[in-house]
Chains A and B, each alone.
Chain A
């Protein structure tokens, strides 16, 4: 066999770097959507590679729901300092205070859907023409249809049935004023690829991904962490378990799993044996069969 071929991780890396450089070349004012989760950390790491020895030429943007894991915010501030890039924060609390959105009511109320307004407002205010996200096609059935360069109209909406065809590696980022794009450099990565790569590159990630003793409550088939926002039901009780999180979202809706995986090696091993998808622990996706598609159409990540 010829020595001139890349293994699958190197090929995925090269593809993502190519996409990030295309974003930089085709847009005026792109940002990386940074949530502090592993996928946006990975995208940021790849951006570092794409522009080395120059620094990442665009800001990171965080949509802050106010319902954060404290570790995530610390991690975000550390990475901003290390990279020397600008941070833009869109605050859901401000959107609520300004009357742009209203808190959901009821037992499983979350701020998840409220993020859409905050995100679109931040995109408009900062004149962002491309928001780079860590979305992957293996995550969810609506995401399986995403393009690398995904068009959003001037209301920020996605029209999945009328997407621009994307052939070879020629990306068309042309748009009119007021419209924007979402770009997904790690579209072709699976959860397993992400972990194998994080392990290989030894990328720093928040401690939440590693198993620790935490206070949790059993709700909707997963362990929801205790926080100032948690309102206990009558039958519920807080217990201490060794928990880690497979994805990080709002602290109110992100369920953990019982685990002993406290190193990257153990996490990768654990993930390779998993029989549930990672979003299986996200109550925002359990609402209906097309929960993600509906949110994405409106402008969700």
Chain B
């Protein structure tokens, strides 16, 4: 592998029988990422179950319950590497009751693969998966029209799905959508170009994933540095050292930059950017570094260092797209802990503005209950200001989670509007 190879994270969504597991199995198998002992185990199970040949889908089975029921319950992560890139797959279940897992997998993804069965075309689940991809602002969406072998590799069938997809996706905010006709079962256009679809001029799936431009997926304009912890070595050579440790959330910070510490508003200049390797002239997202400032200012976890000429909004009133993730429904006007970057405050859901009907994608202005898997637009009030950007502009400083203090469970995830 070359030294400048990047890491691409993608998520896969599909309905129960769209062939998602087979596709992942195929990607791993054809890119030679499945080891012999794993293959041996799958062959044994395939035989036991009476399948013809090796059932690649079995490769993604994880927990015992999943193997028994033949379904995916939780997000599972898979890895493979090609000479061009390293890939992390967030393999998420497609059933409606697992919307929360899809949201989880989508939250860190550069790309989403949405599977559509060529025989059935766009169905309710396709709409739901695409909606979640657009809500979570996944920068790239690849619609794989699967099971082309079952429609005689017909170009018409492929075009029909594209037409259906574009009809409803025009209302959504997905920047980059591509379509690829594949057969995960037989391998057409997954790793290798299909010999059965001369009419398709585009690249196979793996080549698309390998060459997609992802450097601009992270916001490189607005410099944001949430402080995780303060480093005070108090040892020889570093007696007065006070370093602010964190990972650059977005943008670029340079030595000598005029910075403001939020929420206090104190200003200073960046004196040094340090790592074990030594001093750096600049740090960009997503680098983990320690920053020292020219002036002694009281800074602690939860504060944010930003460039003085480009600040986020400090606000106690947030409008948030909220996805409810827990079995216990939201309690009206209950207090929750809100976590935002390294900051943590108390918060209250003041108002539910509307709730999405996840099937029709229409806004319901009357049903205001927040239950498991519900996606709603809400107003949240926090006890102290959070330093926020809109999620559309900044995935890191625009996202929050809510934690129920009575159970410590993560109950909701939100995108700041």
Which A residues contact B (CB, under 8 angstroms)? 1-2, 4-8, 10-15, 17-18, 21-22, 24-25, 48-55, 137-138, 141-142, 144-145, 160-161, 163-170, 172, 174-176, 187-188, 190, 192-193, 196, 274-277, 280, 289-290, 293
Contact = CB atoms under 8 A, between A and B. Distances in A.
A161 B409 CA distance: 14
B314 interface: no
Contacts of A6: 6-7, 286-287
A9 to B, nearest CB: 8
Given A52-B276, A168-B107, A168-B108, A8 B5 contact: yes
B86 A8 contact: yes
B36 A14 contact: no
Contacts of B232: 54
A196 B1 contact: yes
26 contacts: A1-B215, A5-B215, A6-B7, A7-B6, A8-B7, A12-B7, A14-B288, A15-B286, A17-B247, A17-B288, A49-B276, A51-B245, A137-B79, A165-B103, A166-B104, A167-B399, A170-B339, A174-B408, A188-B77, A188-B88, A190-B81, A276-B37, A277-B35, A277-B37, A290-B63, A293-B63
Contacts, number: 183
Contact of B395 (A49, A55, A168): A168
B101 interface: yes
B116 interface: no
Contacts of A164: 409-410
Contacts of A172: 339, 401, 403, 408, 410
Interface residues of B, number: 79
Interface in B214-235: 215-216, 220, 228-229, 231-235
Given A52-B275, A53-B237, A54-B233, 19 more contacts: A2-B216, A4-B215, A5-B6, A8-B5, A12-B7, A21-B228, A21-B229, A52-B290, A54-B232, A142-B63, A165-B100, A168-B396, A169-B247, A170-B399, A170-B400, A170-B401, A172-B401, A190-B79, A274-B35
Contact of B62 (A12, A25, A145, A188): A145
Given A11-B286, A144-B76, A290-B64, A277 B231 contact: no
A165 B81 contact: no
Given A21-B245, A54-B233, A165-B104, A14 B399 contact: no
B36 A275 contact: yes
B325 interface: yes
Interface stretch (B67-75, B123-131, B152-160): B67-75
Contacts of A2: 215-216, 220
Contacts of B194: none
Contacts of A51: 231, 245
Contacts of A5: 6, 215
Contact of A160 (B7, B63, B215): B63
Q: Top 5 closest A-B pairs, CB basis? A: A17-B288, A54-B233, A174-B408, A8-B7, A167-B107
Contacts of B79: 137-138, 188, 190
B404 to A, nearest CB: 9
A277 B38 contact: yes
B379 interface: no
Contacts of B342: 22, 25
B347 to A, nearest CB: 14
A144 B77 contact: yes
A290 B65 CA distance: 10
Contacts of B410: 164-167, 172
Interface string B398-417: 01110100001110010000
Contacts of B284: 4
A176 B234 CA distance: 33
B5 A7 contact: yes
